[in-house]
Chain A
């Protein structure tokens, strides 16, 4: 059985203009010890998916439909009390821009040991600070910097501290939301490398969220491409990158340059994503799609299996595979 199974998850935000359908019919599953990356442009609903798995949607956010099975239990229907027991101990999250959210007036090590003490009543103070030392070593922050305050850390060190915090209660699943976005390439490469190692050593499952496909490609076994609240393509890293199927995926890939060969013009995706208070009928990408036909505005595309795991939602594939 998969560690996490998400079925038909749909989430909306109540706004002045109406219900904003931020996530629509998202399904995926994640095996123990595997990593899954969600990619898509800003506003496509990545953070919303992550927050819902933590049971931390903002007040105006609501799960409209769907199931989230974690260790076989539907965590959308359990009590807040039970959820509290899961959160941080079983599922933890590295929040987007979390490195700026460290408490500035507390020593970094103290913040982490407080997190440990808050979630396990059996742990003594001395034991907690021993664990913190181990965590610092694990994420590569020198021991002698434990007693520092956050402002004395560089961006990369703060991000490592945040990762240590997420690891503090030895969770089975970590949701990492844009964990390297504010960092430069060198530090980013180090953090990605460490993330990979941590995952291999500790067997933790990771959901990696980023708008940057190149980063997700670096760490994840499986990739889910999101557009305007929907998953549009899903598969192993090799399947998605070697034979990208959805026009949106292909368009995303062509926004990245190469280092050798001719310098070809990058072809950015024209236009903007649709308004999700009143989402368009049919395919949500069709207005920006170079390959759209009239049908795309009529029919909402269904999943087509290209390979056992590689799936795409685009009617061009439905036609190819459909009954003759």
Chain B
């Protein structure tokens, strides 16, 4: 069902990804982990789309499937209507030029042996773009656009000669230098101070505006997602829980898991009486069934019989707003935070 407006740029259609875990005991038998479970969603051209969830919910997996660091086990990923799930050879290489990924840890994602110039021009070399001179110019422009200025001061530096924020800017410049259509930013600021994070966020917003890039922003903070994103999807253990415009999902959340994520945000400032939703169980409920809602074990409002036996459908509650919860309609309570209350990112 495509009830939404705006042109779809990238879509997941029933995408699943499985991993074999090594098992809890050393040498134990491998157990199958469902990293993504039939994920279906559309990302629109030119938007910043947020994928939000706790650790292990499958966010990075989704990103890695898009940029084809990994391949889906089931379902179809398409870009502008073209199936890219299993591209190979030259078509894959051409595709990779259009999609880039920025990783969580700027300390690990940059090669310590490469100067900034080499790091940022590497994608240009791989895709044989331009000549030496024009490549240098593209690198300079990319550095300038991420606020590493004057670029001449940075091109000959190595990762260890830069702060974490500077390194992450280099990683962004590297992702942007090919002028991709689509960028996955995987928790790009989780290692950085808030002020530096805010700088990086503003750079991403600027990229979206000036270059028309479509972005998938991965985070565990709904506050960061609200700042950056047009729409967000909340996932839990590989399952899509709630989807819609960012403000709507946060201010009028309908899924108990989304509410747990809101409750968990650290906050400060003049917050007044912020009512908690208390939808998250402290201790996970025993559940033998593998059917039922993925969130059943942690949900304080679950119906023991219904929710443990049946998967809630992903139903539309208002135009562009979808929720996978039997009790979505009853969840009328809205966020009461004051406008002067600030949240952790």
Contact = CB atoms under 8 A, between A and B. Distances in A.
A259 B193 CA distance: 20
A323 interface: no
A186 B338 CA distance: 22
B301 to A, nearest CB: 17
Q: Is the interface of B mostly helix, strand, loop or mixed?
A: mixed
B163 A272 contact: yes
A190 B55 CA distance: 14
Given A253-B269, A259-B250, A272-B163, A41 B343 contact: no
A237 B280 CA distance: 27
Nearest to A223: B268
B322 interface: no
A252 B198 CA distance: 10
B335 A186 contact: no
Interface string B254-270: 00000011111111111
A215 B264 CA distance: 11
Contacts of B261: 185-186
B54 interface: yes
A75 B223 CA distance: 42
A211 B342 contact: no
B197 interface: yes
A259 B262 contact: yes
B172 to A, nearest CB: 15
A28 interface: no
Contact of A189 (B164, B198, B263): B263
B300 interface: no
Chain B, interface size category, equals 35 or more
Interface string A234-274: 00010001100000000111011111110101111100100
Contact of A258 (B56, B198, B341): B341
Contacts of A189: 263-266
A180 to B, nearest CB: 9
Given A192-B266, A212-B194, A266 B339 contact: no
A258 B340 contact: yes
A215 to B, nearest CB: 5
Contacts of B201: 266
B221 interface: yes
A245 to B, nearest CB: 15
A259 B194 contact: no
B7 interface: no
A218 B263 CA distance: 12
Contacts of A215: 266, 344
Contacts of B88: none
B195 A187 contact: no
A42 interface: yes
A260 B195 contact: no
Contacts of B163: 42, 272
